[in-house]
Structure 1
């Protein structure tokens, strides 16, 4: 059991009694001091605030109506795509090279050939429209969302749920998990709302500077209120993890539970230092399990060097997104390479050593290219990249949400190939009511897209724990 594994190790037996006592007392003393200091600084909730992100001056009154929306395409749009694809110039990859330098151009030509000659965008548009789409104006922006209602069978409890995507994903990431949550014969089902983050997909991009995760969280809270929900569950990964966490911090009274498949460590203090020093040798002393040790250590190699190797995009998008975005917004092939390389490496970093990035092992080209087409047809790559700059304008450690605990019931699905691993003791620094913490058997960053059944099962398990405790 992930919560109860607490076995002595050989290293413990090799320590003499005085050293062991000193180590234990030092750990407890420093940890207690750190906890008390952090607790004194921590806040209980975040002010909701307000904003206006539309063109020009704020109007006197929002349009609160909700309008049906349909994804559409045209022959002109498809012909323009094909013309640009046909004009692509390729650079020969280095010999014996996989994805270590980025998307391998030999394999890219195969993907593009499929895109140009076999991919049916009209068919995929029909697939996108299988679920009902809507738009509504909030804080000056037309916010897009998919709203899927459960059939509501006799004796079935239906709970509202919002799923929030990240970058470089979209609402389409959730299309495989939606039927597992809504159309189920179990006693529990969900009415699901999947919004597009403003600036992503079919949601209008902010027209003013400063739109960060806190603003997205507030807009999504307003969306749920407009839909008539005053109590609901939240689930997210990547930016969706931060946005849903911010929602729980702003209106904890509205959030029945928060389930995440990505946790970022925001508190890097004495407690973390102690964990890193003691963890590899006496993991049970700092609350680590054997699986934590396997995923975390050697720490520099797995959590510092690897992240540095994979975070170049973040520095570009966090500083000058518009510059790099010009090329991506003009070239569909460049856009596909930029986005799909992440779906290769973030699914499993070992894929960097393969010429095809093992891209089609977990995903179909139709699904991958549909996600790319959502970015291409909406011209949303630049505003989606700007979201990084807006969130990194200030030191994340100094933001109000970094100093605010999360007190709603929380569950975490820890996938083994996620970009970073957050052990349960670290998660408890911020999340004060963790109901479930699961070491998932397989999967990476795009959990809903890659392993929808695993994620759905863990989410339902978490909800059952929360609902059971309510009764």
Structure 2
């Protein structure tokens, strides 16, 4: 072989290797200073120049009218159920026989007034930011002289709500009673994403994750926190990641329980790991959770159809489930089955009460029903995936300290190599022994402890 041919082969191999390496490790950089500024998501045009927007923080209590509840009762009683597919369990979606049991429970045993009392156990507020009222729970700990609490904003996702965090909040604000130490005390802020829960929906097109990040940073600043921690799962992980990238001088640390970023490694490593696990998936826990890769990909394919619908025609899908409480419950609760443990689709009741109570599940559904905002909650998919995203979390590195809690049944599972690539200051990556997508709702103690240990590491810097 001549030296020219040898040189050509060597250089070609180097070039191919460089291309593959670049594809697996796309270059990232710090985001420029945020230029979002003041946007307007309210009805009509912003207030005329010279007038002042109401920036007050107003007390709020959940108190739904009897008219809304009477209407719900009538709709539940007049449900037109779909035919049952024999022996299908949850493999075709929510089993209609089990839904009849849920309907009876909803009508005869569930109490929204009791749920209101549970929701109102924590102080809640409204404040207007960029033209829309933003709802949030704000829980302050009882501090002894000399103690300081660390502010943290915790953001939910879809189809969740602030209610997911109600068991975990005391574990952060009163850690001594829940296995923590005196240094683990937090002041907790849990906002409803605009268009979700008790927050007003944006009235303009374009409200993507970056916009929610901007509003929540303004919320924290309005409450007097110029330095704070952020945490989230599902949309919450993406919104709080945007906050960390856009406002690194304000965010002290970012903790997530869902992988909000992906690259070629996310797909290639599990495929190659099927044949060379020791090289591409060296941690046996990743092997257990991702292999066989065909099963994992099939699960993801089966569970992501909703995303395509909501990213394209949210108003159409939203209209249907906004008009039927049973339709809404089927659409939402089916996610709490298979996103917790995929194999539960083989159970006639979807395994729903193995990790949750019907009261808690119905309270989450009711938060969507009484506010009539299932369609506006879906629109976040259209905005983020349909072209209005600024893609901060795809093109920029997160340079603030990060902690990641890896739950085995998380739908959008990520490996350490990918997480580290996008978050070079990854300080904590822990494999949880159990749990799925709704970690705070299902395993609040595990998630709370992982948040606490991560923040200890950041505070020790």
Q: Which stretch shows the higher mean deviation, 42-51 or 213-222?
A: 42-51
Pick one of 347, 353, 360 that aligns with 1:354. Answer: 347
Residue 426 (str. 1) matches residue 418 (str. 2): yes
Gap change, CA 1:408 and 1:28, over 3 Å in 2:
farther
Note if contact 2:271-2:293 (Cα within 8 Å) is conserved in structure 1: no
> Aligned residue for 2:44?
56
For residues 413 and 341 of structure 2, the distance between their equivalents in structure 1, rounded to whole angstroms, comes to 14
Pick one of 112, 121, 142 that aligns with 1:130. Answer: 121
For residues 46 and 307 of structure 1, the distance between their equivalents in structure 2, rounded to whole angstroms, comes to 36
Gap change, CA 1:45 and 1:150, over 3 Å in 2:
farther
Unpaired stretches in structure 1, ≥5 consecutive residues: 1-21
RMSD, aligned α-carbons: 2.2
Give the Å deviation of 1:316. 1.0
Secondary structure of the corresponding residue to residue 130 of structure 1: coil
1:429-460 CA-partner distances (Å, limit 9, x unpaired): 10110111011000000000000001001111
Q: Which stretch shows the higher mean deviation, 61-70 or 363-372?
A: 61-70
For residues 20 and 360 of structure 2, the distance between their equivalents in structure 1, rounded to whole angstroms, comes to 49
Q: Normalising by structure 2, what TM-score?
A: 0.91
Residue 294 (str. 1) matches residue 262 (str. 2): no
Unpaired stretches in structure 2, ≥5 consecutive residues: 1-9
Give the Å deviation of 1:266. 2.4
Pick one of 164, 177, 190 that aligns with 2:168. Answer: 177
Note if contact 2:206-2:388 (Cα within 8 Å) is conserved in structure 1: no
Gap change, CA 1:27 and 1:395, over 3 Å in 2:
farther
Gap change, CA 1:36 and 1:452, over 3 Å in 2:
closer
Equivalent pairs counted in the alignment come to 441
Greater than 6 Å deviation, 4+ residue runs: 25-28
Secondary structure of the corresponding residue to residue 429 of structure 1: helix
Residue 382 (str. 1) matches residue 375 (str. 2): yes
Secondary structure of the corresponding residue to residue 344 of structure 2: helix
1:410-435 CA-partner distances (Å, limit 9, x unpaired): 00000001003211111111011011
Matches within 5 A, 1:2-151: 29-30=17-18, 33-34=21-22, 38-39=26-27, 42-45=29-32, 47-50=34-37, 51-59=39-47, 60=49, 61-151=52-142
Matches within 5 A, 1:319-398: 319-394=312-387
Q: Normalising by structure 1, what TM-score?
A: 0.89
1:301-331 CA-partner distances (Å, limit 9, x unpaired): 30x3221111111111111111111121111
Residue 279 (str. 1) matches residue 273 (str. 2): yes
Note if contact 2:261-2:422 (Cα within 8 Å) is conserved in structure 1: no
For residues 36 and 333 of structure 1, the distance between their equivalents in structure 2, rounded to whole angstroms, comes to 45
For residues 100 and 281 of structure 1, the distance between their equivalents in structure 2, rounded to whole angstroms, comes to 30
Pick one of 426, 440, 460 that aligns with 1:448. Answer: 440
For residues 259 and 365 of structure 1, the distance between their equivalents in structure 2, rounded to whole angstroms, comes to 29
Give the Å deviation of 1:156. 3.7
